[in-house]
Amino acid sequence: MRAEHLSRRVAWSPSPAVRLPKGVSKTAWAREMGRWQNPRIRAFLGTHRILRDVLESNFAILHCSPKRLIEMLVTVRQVSELLRTDITLLLEGPSLIPDLDASRLAVKANLNHIEQTLLKQLDSFPNRVPASRHDELRRFLCVAIGQLHRFLQDSFGGLVSADPRATRDADYYLSKEFPRDIEEAEWLYDSVTRLEQHLRELDRERPRLIVDVRQFLQQECRVPSRDAWAHTERYLERLVTELTPRLREVIALRGIRIEELELLDHYSTEIPTICRILAELHESSCEALGASTSHEVSPVPDEHRPPHLHRTLCDRMVPQLRSLDDYLRDLGIFVPLWRRDITQRRALLLRLAGLKDPSKSEQDGTGDSDSDLVS
């Protein structure tokens, strides 16, 4: 099925309102529309409609079923075939409109780059991808789907905005996409901001409940009693029941990049795992040492304790506490930097959409609550 039949027909025709460059007749422009420009528009719209079926978050791609993974690969191959056939052919036709021809050449150059890089990498995957290469395929699709979406969106926008029938810089197709993109960018920004605030709260207790406890184990070589451990235990529970769900919420959002997703996915897996290991180690230690709920480490006389038991248990708990402390500190450093990076992306997106950046407006007092998308 050819791409131009997958989209509604574009009902644009020459009208007296269309301003053509000097020397270009309405008849010549009508001929170019019918032969090249309108089929190009339909081809890009149809190809994008196919790709839209697999426009999912990187988290969804990395964790989908093998069946869904292969469905995504088939869809991307279909898009690749349309780019190499229909769209490549339709980009060959020159335009009598200088701006439109410049846009056509730019799109053609970008498609050639995609052909030499992304599509060649796609060809390296066999028709039946073995299970051993599924992880590699997932990572590739995270990148490929995003790049193809941007190429189709940017190319269409350039071709339509250079069309003499266009009445504005932002074409109607992009005006439908931008509200969703902005909403996703705002939701990601708000979610990461809330995550940063939560990490700041956790960090205030981290030195006392993680660092000091680790130093106590190293220096005293004694396992804390249940009473002494209670505050740290509640802190570990917060990491599992509060922090981990927040991390999972963020990595499921659209707009998160693959490197960011992999990093947060690692944190959201390792932190609760360490917390559970520490809880189990301490409970097992208390049972082994016969500890009571008093502040004494153990009521069992030293001569009746197994030799070196305290030291052995401490040696197992200390590395876990150190790893947990490292993860929390690294996360506390990464998230603020990440939020600032998202702020820059968000500001760019708002400028592209014709909106003022609210964060900048707060600083210079130029905010306009009545701002609207370019329609």
The Cα 125–Cα 120 span in angstroms is 9
Instruction: With cut-offs at 50, 70 and 90, classify the pLDDT of residue 346.
Output: low
Instruction: Return the C-alpha torsion angle 231, 269, 196, 204, nearest 10.
Output: 20
Q: Is the pLDDT of residue 3 over 70?
A: no
pLDDT for residue 133 = 94
State pLDDT tens for residues 183-218. 667 778 888 999 999 999 999 999 999 999 999 998
Residue given tokens 């153990």 in the structure block = 298
State pLDDT tens for residues 38-84. 899 889 988 988 998 898 888 889 999 999 999 999 999 999 999 99
User: What are the C-alpha distances in Å from 96 to residues 16, 91, 100, 127, 320?
Assistant: 18, 14, 8, 42, 69
Instruction: With cut-offs at 50, 70 and 90, classify the pLDDT of residue 268.
Output: very high
Instruction: With cut-offs at 50, 70 and 90, classify the pLDDT of residue 345.
Output: low
Residue given tokens 């469905």 in the structure block = 71
Look at the alpha carbons of 98, 102, 107, 108 in this order and tell me if their dihedral is positive or negative.
Answer: positive
Q: Is the pLDDT of residue 246 over 80?
A: yes
**Per-residue DSSP letter, 357:** P
Report the run of H or E that residue 121 belongs to, with start and end: helix 120-123
pLDDT for residue 105 = 95
CB 218 within 8 A of CB 314: yes
From 201, 342, 177, 192, select the one nearest 252 (Cα to Cα): 192
Residue given tokens 């528009």 in the structure block = 41
CB 101 within 8 A of CB 95: yes
DSSP string, 180-192: HHHHHHHHHHHHH
Q: Is the pLDDT of residue 19 over 60?
A: yes
pLDDT for residue 211 = 94
**Which pair of tokens denotes residue 91?**
């980009």
Share of the chain above pLDDT 90, in %: 47
CB 129 within 8 A of CB 70: yes
Q: Is the pLDDT of residue 108 over 50?
A: yes
- Which of the residue ranges 25-34, 247-256, 258-267, 288-297 has the most confident prediction, judged by mean pLDDT? 25-34
Residue given tokens 């609210």 in the structure block = 358
pTM across the whole model: 0.58
State pLDDT tens for residues 270-279. 999 999 999 9
- The mean predicted confidence, pLDDT, of the chain is 80
User: What are the C-alpha distances in Å from 364 to residues 279, 359, 361?
Assistant: 50, 9, 5
Per-residue pLDDT, averaged over 314-329, amounts to 94
pLDDT for residue 320 = 95
Instruction: With cut-offs at 50, 70 and 90, classify the pLDDT of residue 176.
Output: low
pLDDT for residue 357 = 46
Instruction: With cut-offs at 50, 70 and 90, classify the pLDDT of residue 322.
Output: very high
Per-residue pLDDT, averaged over 212-231, amounts to 90
pLDDT for residue 373 = 22
Degrees, nearest 5: CA angle 61-64-69: 75
Per-residue pLDDT, averaged over 224-245, amounts to 93
Instruction: With cut-offs at 50, 70 and 90, classify the pLDDT of residue 91.
Output: very high
Which residue type does 112 have? N
Q: Is the pLDDT of residue 349 over 50?
A: no
Instruction: With cut-offs at 50, 70 and 90, classify the pLDDT of residue 127.
Output: confident
Q: Domain residue spans in the chain?
A: 3-8+26-168, 182-354
State pLDDT tens for residues 137-167. 999 999 999 899 989 988 888 888 888 876 5
Instruction: With cut-offs at 50, 70 and 90, classify the pLDDT of residue 177.
Output: low
φ, ψ of residue 254 to 5 degrees: the values are -75, 160
